A and B are shown apart, each in its own frame.
Chain A
Amino acid sequence: MTAAALQSVVHRNHRRQQLLWLLAAMTLVVFALSLLLGRYPAPGLLDWSRLGEDDLALRLVLNLRLPRLIAALLLGMTLSAAGMVFQLLFSNPLVEPGFLGVSQGAAFGAAMAIVFLGGAAILTQIAAVGFALAGLGFSYLLARRLRYGGWVLRLLLAGIAVSALFSAGVGLLKYLADPLTQLPEITFWLLGSLASITWGKLLGVAAPVSISLLALWFFRWRLNVLALNEETAFSLGAAPGRERLFLIVAAVLPTALLISISGMVGWVGLIVPNFTRRIFAADTRFGLPATMLIGGIFVMLCDDLARTLLPGEIPLGILTSFFGALAFLGLMMLQPSRPKS
């Protein structure tokens, strides 16, 4: 009996591994097609052979589409992976890294730079990262002083309070902003877009983002253990405090860096991990790599639509919210969870 059961488990893992390879292949295909997709010279796919002849096409692909596409891929992978890490560590399928004051902090920093510092791209970016990390720092320090609930709950409560404070600040800045020049800029930043990505911006964040993603990937099985309650994780030989803090930083840092160049891109971190769990079950050994790939594919596709659907650009955040919600609803309706026994 054990031999047969073991056989079926080995088989199941093998199948999940194959599914991961399939997702990886799909990521590459979507990446390659997205590179050729656009509105030059006509809406649709660019002919591969044209790249050799048409200098403009080549430069367009290499200097505009390629960095933007890599940013979309990294953004999708990071938001989804960070979302899954947060959901596991906080035992709550409804949280994402933004909850610890990070998203609202970044928004506040960007809005400040736009209103008071003239809104130069580099300043906006630096202010967004700075305030995103400050948001995390405040949440952490505040959580240490709260006298209510366990550590996880305290951190979440502190994060919500810090987010609300920053969000009030963003509201105030919008109110103060020049309605003709600054307000639209803030609004666009809050809707998210990869339209202004350049190699310079991308390379500024690519290394720490990739290293963080790699670190999360190495923890893919360990994350299961760290998701247990602290005393149990401790009894299994883990150092829950230290290891969880490491994972939180490894999730928040790349999120803050990417938000600083993309603006707010909503719901990816919330919906993609839940979507992934429906397909791969909860075990993060397969679920974490899968959610990275699904998130990458999803944001690449949304960004394709953002830049090609209309002659003008559609903010990315609108599309990720819309299609994310649709895909998630569809999955929940088509595949009802098994009834309670």
Chain B
Amino acid sequence: MSATLLALRQITFGYRRERAPVLNEVTFALRSGRILAIVGPNGAGKTTLLSVLLGWQQPWSGAIELAGRPLASYTRSERGRWLALTPQSEHTPFDYSVLDYVLMGRAPHLPPLAMPTAADYAIALGALEQVGIAALADQPVPQLSGGERQLMLVARAMAQQPKLLMLDEPTAHLDLHNKARLIQIMHRLRSQGVTLLMTNHEPEVVLAVADDVLLMEAGRPPVFGPLDQVFTEAALSRIYQLPIRLVEVEGRKQVLWT
């Protein structure tokens, strides 16, 4: 059994002290080389949890350990080499080329004021090739479609070569073809030893890639466990307040709702 990469103990966090916390005693341990899906209704605190895991927001209480060390003990660039985040979307008004944008993923590997080298450009190009948009390398970012932009953000996080890759709704803007490709990319990264953590609203994506699931509900401690134990009809019906059924079609599980 592989070692624990990320351990959270009783993480509680909110944006305002006078209100109820958004994250309530979140506890789980993620082993390395696994894919964790964070599932829950809108407003359950999924994106907030990613912010806290990144170290961007400090929890009110509780402890986060990355590879057995407190997250706070990592230096900034060290943390940038361990953790990467693909945000849901990102706005830039400037005509960056896709390659120059992805190249920024190399920042934590460079000394603060150094220029990227040819090796860094090669890694960025490789990441674009892996997500299948190498042909767009010279395109200006503002002209990309929503899906291409999302793949580009995934490529930037891959150029970071992190040990733990966090993706915030990575399939939200993708068509079926690109969704299938992203699932394939996630499987490949896992086989290379990268641990993945994603928030997702699409049950079929969760069913296709996740090893573990964290079910989040506003106002309740979340539930963590292997996919088949946590991602159940009863649990899904409860958090989404809809009658939900899991059915098997041609060997693949699917979600049905009415």
Residues of A within 8 A of B (CB): 1-2, 5-6, 9-10, 88, 91-93, 218-219, 221-222, 224-225, 227-229, 231-232, 234-239, 277, 281-283, 285, 337-338, 340-341
Q: How many A-B contacts are there with CB distance less than 8 Å?
A: 108
| Given known contacts A1-B134, A222-B113, A282 and B56 CB-to-CB distance under 8 angstroms | no
Binding stretch for chain A, among B35-43, B115-123, B243-251: B115-123
Are the C-beta atoms of B96 and A6 separated by less than 8 Å? no
Are the C-beta atoms of A236 and B104 separated by less than 8 Å? yes
Q: Is B129's beta carbon under 8 Å from chain A?
A: yes
Shortest CB distance B19–A (Å): 16
Are the C-beta atoms of B107 and A9 separated by less than 8 Å? no
Are the C-beta atoms of B104 and A281 separated by less than 8 Å? no
Residue in A closest to B121 when the chains form the complex, CB atoms: A9
Are the C-beta atoms of A1 and B143 separated by less than 8 Å? no
Are the C-beta atoms of A238 and B96 separated by less than 8 Å? no
| Given known contacts A236-B107, A281-B100, A340-B143, A221 and B112 CB-to-CB distance under 8 angstroms | no
Are the C-beta atoms of B108 and A236 separated by less than 8 Å? yes
Are the C-beta atoms of B107 and A91 separated by less than 8 Å? no
Q: Is B203's beta carbon under 8 Å from chain A?
A: no
| Given known contacts A5-B125, A221-B116, A285-B115, A235 and B54 CB-to-CB distance under 8 angstroms | yes
Contacts of A2 in B (CB 8 A): 122, 125-126, 129, 134
| 30 cross-chain CB contacts under 8 A | A2-B125, A2-B129, A5-B137, A6-B118, A6-B121, A10-B118, A10-B121, A88-B94, A92-B93, A221-B116, A227-B92, A227-B94, A231-B54, A234-B55, A234-B76, A236-B105, A236-B160, A237-B77, A237-B80, A237-B81, A238-B76, A239-B76, A277-B95, A282-B92, A282-B94, A283-B97, A338-B143, A340-B143, A341-B143, A341-B145
What is the CA–CA distance of A277 and B81 in the complex, to the nearest angstrom? Answer: 31
Residue in B closest to A281 when the chains form the complex, CB atoms: B95
Q: Is B87's beta carbon under 8 Å from chain A?
A: yes
Shortest CB distance B173–A (Å): 15
Residue in A closest to B94 when the chains form the complex, CB atoms: A282
**Per-position binary interface string of chain B over residues 144-182, scored 1 when its CB falls under 8 Å from any chain A CB and 0 otherwise:** 010000000000000010000000000000000000000
**Per-position binary interface string of chain B over residues 50-89, scored 1 when its CB falls under 8 Å from any chain A CB and 0 otherwise:** 0100111000000000000000000011111101110100
Q: Is B91's beta carbon under 8 Å from chain A?
A: yes
| 5 residue pairs, one from A and one from B, having the closest CB atoms | A237-B80, A237-B108, A282-B94, A237-B77, A236-B107
| Given known contacts A6-B122, A277-B95, A282-B96, A236 and B143 CB-to-CB distance under 8 angstroms | no
| Given known contacts A5-B125, A10-B118, A235-B56, A93 and B94 CB-to-CB distance under 8 angstroms | yes
Residue in A closest to B112 when the chains form the complex, CB atoms: A222
Interface of A is mostly: loop
Contacts of B55 in A (CB 8 A): 234
Are the C-beta atoms of A283 and B113 separated by less than 8 Å? no
Are the C-beta atoms of A228 and B100 separated by less than 8 Å? no
Shortest CB distance B51–A (Å): 7
Are the C-beta atoms of B113 and A229 separated by less than 8 Å? no
| Given known contacts A235-B56, A277-B95, A281-B97, A228 and B113 CB-to-CB distance under 8 angstroms | no
Contacts of B54 in A (CB 8 A): 231, 234-235
Are the C-beta atoms of A229 and B95 separated by less than 8 Å? no
Residue in B closest to A221 when the chains form the complex, CB atoms: B115
Are the C-beta atoms of A235 and B83 separated by less than 8 Å? yes
What is the CA–CA distance of A40 and B93 in the complex, to the nearest angstrom? Answer: 48
Q: Is B90's beta carbon under 8 Å from chain A?
A: yes
Contacts of B76 in A (CB 8 A): 234, 237-239
Contacts of B104 in A (CB 8 A): 224-225, 228, 236
Shortest CB distance B71–A (Å): 13
Are the C-beta atoms of A281 and B116 separated by less than 8 Å? no
Shortest CB distance A255–B (Å): 21
Shortest CB distance A103–B (Å): 23
Q: Is B140's beta carbon under 8 Å from chain A?
A: yes
Contacts of A1 in B (CB 8 A): 129, 134
